[in-house]
Amino acid sequence: MKKILFSVALLSAGMMCTSCSQDLLDIEQKATSSTGNFYKTDADAESAVTAMYATYIGEIGGTEGIWNAYIMGLNYSADDVFAAGGDTHDHADFRILNEFRYDPSSLPIKNLYNHIYKAIYSANLVINYFGETADTQVKKQAVAEARVMRAWAHMLAAQVYYQPPLIDHLITTEKPTNAESQKAIFDWCVKECEEAMSDLPDRKGQSDKEGAWRVTKGFAQFVAGKSALFAGDNAKCASVLKPLVESSNYALVPGERFRDLFHVEGDGCEEKIFEFNYITNTSAAGGTASWMGGNNRGRWMVANVLNWRGDDIAEKNGKAPLICAVGGWGGGSINHEFAHKMLANDGDSYRRKATFLTSDEFFYDEKLCGWQTDATCTTLEQKQFDPKRGIKNDNGSFSRSDVMEVKMMMHPNDADLSVEANCNNTNLCIARLAEAYLLYAEACIASGNKAEALKYINKIQQRAGSKTISTEATMQVLQDEKQYELWFEGCRWFDIVRWGIAKQCYDKVLDNIPYQFDEYFTSGGTKPHKLYYEVRHPFKEIDGLTLKFVEGKNEYWPLPQTVIEINDQMHQVRGWANN
């Protein structure tokens, strides 16, 4: 796809005289087109759909200062993630999602909603102006791409909010209303994608990177299948996803490349079905600095949030372990109970080591972690008693345990130094084949085809290098495998709600916070480096708060208060109606 860069020329015209001829004022504005003149040609269609993708990247993949509403919203709402950070007050504006301390006026609630519907608007522009007049394949494909992206955004809205509006046309004067039901939205998404498929190309083989960055038939199948599963239509999900999981245009990457899926090395690889493709353009959108309005990357400064807590690490020569690209703030920590469960299941697998490190791997594995060493620190014993490595926080590193997550950390190759050292240049993955396999397997289990489900579960396990290879496809096996495979990929929250186990999952983890220590420092240097932790209840004991998941309410976010206030046709639903 042509990478068309849009720029705005700022015209400064000082009033150098007190009057001028009206004829001189009647000048056509340059570099603009009216809607009546623009939406005509194939080139216009390409430009319009490129602008749509740019909007999605900016709205869904852009940052909110130090965070991203999509990344933090979806993952901090899961039960296997701690907001972590420095303490209970650190990054308060988005840690509230992790602790169910939000309400309809909370900033992340409003921001993600606005981002989703601005993205939908950009798709509706393409559909509105080309949908009825598309007389070439280029125009038809543009409309089909817009329909699928619009369906994906509605699917997301219905996963996050309850009965959000379904905007299937370009809004002019009417006011949006609550959707009839969640199922109505998901069913509509399926229909949209199925109708768009005939005008979409297949990906051109596993090496087709553009086929991972632009909507193809494969992504339409993914959105339709996932929407069908959330609608409760397992047969439809299986039938729509079957051609995708059997397609030769995609493949699971080998186990030794599992780690690459979350870093620049994996951008556009054979496993990616769709991802937001970031292109650095330091001359556009206000310059190089994100905080000045330019280049709002999907992980600009999110890199700092999700990297290890630099203040707690005993750095050698002023440098963190080699795995760290920039200093971190320790957010997005992996839940210790889940990590122990995954370690028992996976053992020394590619997948597990790409998700989190054990204590020994963190301290002593030069390939996986890489502490700075010199000639005086080369043997294992020297490393065990090296005072310039380890966790030095005497009070315990907040929300961290005896493991260290690495999956979404910004690695050195991810850094885009042409923008800023804390700008993660990795594309933002929206759909990959492993998730499609697991969606398909779940639909097959629900439809009674357990042999077919087991085949795809086993493919995931074998690629992972897991020590556990299942012999039977049950829902428990599927649920566990999906959690192992897709930790911090925006799935867990929606899944435990859909499976009806949300309350029991959240009740186990709320305010059961690990504090991490290093035996070397707590022993005064007499014991080797080793991570251990204590579970505390800081919200109740320190802040006097009782964290609580309310069934019938907290499964979904409320509709933003700002939306309710300006639109008398919208109302809160479920437990938020009487908030």
Distance CA 95, CA 81 (A): 11
For the cut 90, the answer to whether the pLDDT of residue 32 exceeds it is no
Q: Which tens digits make up the pLDDT trace of 330-343?
A: 999 999 999 999 99
Distance CA 368, CA 442 (A): 33
Q: Which tens digits make up the pLDDT trace of 84-102?
A: 999 999 999 999 999 999 9
Q: Which tens digits make up the pLDDT trace of 53-86?
A: 999 999 999 888 889 999 999 999 999 999 999 9
Rounded mean pLDDT, 249-270: 97
For the cut 90, the answer to whether the pLDDT of residue 372 exceeds it is no
**pLDDT above 70 coverage of the chain, percent:** 89
Cα separations (Å) of 417 from 131, 289, 420? Answer: 42, 11, 5
Distance CA 134, CA 517 (A): 63
For the cut 90, the answer to whether the pLDDT of residue 113 exceeds it is yes
For the cut 70, the answer to whether the pLDDT of residue 295 exceeds it is no
In the numeric block, the tokens 């079905």 are attached to 273
Rounded mean pLDDT, 373-389: 89
CB 303 within 8 A of CB 325: yes
The total number of residues shown for the chain amounts to: 579
Provide the 8-state DSSP code for 487.
T
For the cut 90, the answer to whether the pLDDT of residue 258 exceeds it is yes
Domains and CATH numbers, the chain: 44-188+555-579 (1.25.40.390), 301-418+510-541 (no CATH)
How far the first Cα of the chain sits from its last, in Å, is: 47
What pLDDT score does 188 carry? 98
Q: What one-character-per-residue DSSP string does 150-215 give?
A: HHHHHHHHHHHBSS-----S--SSSPP---S-HHHHHHHHHHHHHHHGGGSPPP-STT-SHHHHS-
Distance CA 334, CA 504 (A): 18
Rounded mean pLDDT, 139-144: 97
Structure tokens at 189: 């998404």
Distance CA 263, CA 481 (A): 22
Structure tokens at 271: 């496993």
Pseudo-torsion of CA 419, 420, 422, 423, nearest 10°?
A: -10
Under DSSP, is residue 428 helix (H, G, I), strand (E, B) or coil?
strand
Which residues lie across from 535 on neighbouring strands?
Answer: 514
Mean pLDDT of the chain: 89
For the cut 90, the answer to whether the pLDDT of residue 556 exceeds it is yes
Residue 224 amino acid letter? A
Distance CA 146, CA 531 (A): 49
Q: What one-character-per-residue DSSP string does 55-104 give?
A: HHHHHHHS-BTTB-HHHHHHHHTSTTEEEESSSTTTTHHHHHHHHT---T
Under DSSP, is residue 335 helix (H, G, I), strand (E, B) or coil?
coil
Distance CA 317, CA 312 (A): 15
Structure tokens at 261: 């899926």
Confidence category of residue 317, pLDDT binned at 50, 70, 90: low
> For residue 154, what are the contacts with CB-CB under 8 A and spacing of at least 6?
120, 166, 167, 185, 188, 189
For the cut 80, the answer to whether the pLDDT of residue 37 exceeds it is no
For the cut 70, the answer to whether the pLDDT of residue 19 exceeds it is no
CB 331 within 8 A of CB 91: yes
Under DSSP, is residue 531 helix (H, G, I), strand (E, B) or coil?
strand
CB 396 within 8 A of CB 517: yes
In the numeric block, the tokens 């303490």 are attached to 87
**Taking CA 180 as the corner, what is the angle to CA 179 and CA 186, rounded to the nearest 5 degrees?**
75
HEC per residue, 231-267: CCCHHHHHHHHHHHHCCCCCCCCCHHHHHHHHCHHHC
What pLDDT score does 66 carry? 87
Structure tokens at 48: 């319009």
- Other C-beta atoms closer than 10 Å to the C-beta of 498 total 16
For the cut 50, the answer to whether the pLDDT of residue 407 exceeds it is yes
Distance CA 119, CA 315 (A): 43
What pLDDT score does 280 carry? 55
Q: What is the CA radius of gyration of the chain?
A: 25
For the cut 80, the answer to whether the pLDDT of residue 293 exceeds it is no
Confidence category of residue 283, pLDDT binned at 50, 70, 90: very low
What pLDDT score does 496 carry? 98
Confidence category of residue 290, pLDDT binned at 50, 70, 90: very low
Distance CA 176, CA 124 (A): 14
Structure tokens at 214: 């632009």
Confidence category of residue 306, pLDDT binned at 50, 70, 90: very high
Confidence category of residue 315, pLDDT binned at 50, 70, 90: confident
CB 391 within 8 A of CB 342: no
Rounded mean pLDDT, 484-493: 98
Distance CA 327, CA 308 (A): 8
What's the pTM value of the predicted model, to 2 decimals? Answer: 0.92
Pseudo-torsion of CA 416, 417, 420, 421, nearest 10°?
A: 90
> For residue 483, what are the contacts with CB-CB under 8 A and spacing of at least 6?
80, 338, 342, 492, 495
Identify the weakest region by mean pLDDT among 169-173, 272-276, 429-433, 438-442.
Answer: 169-173
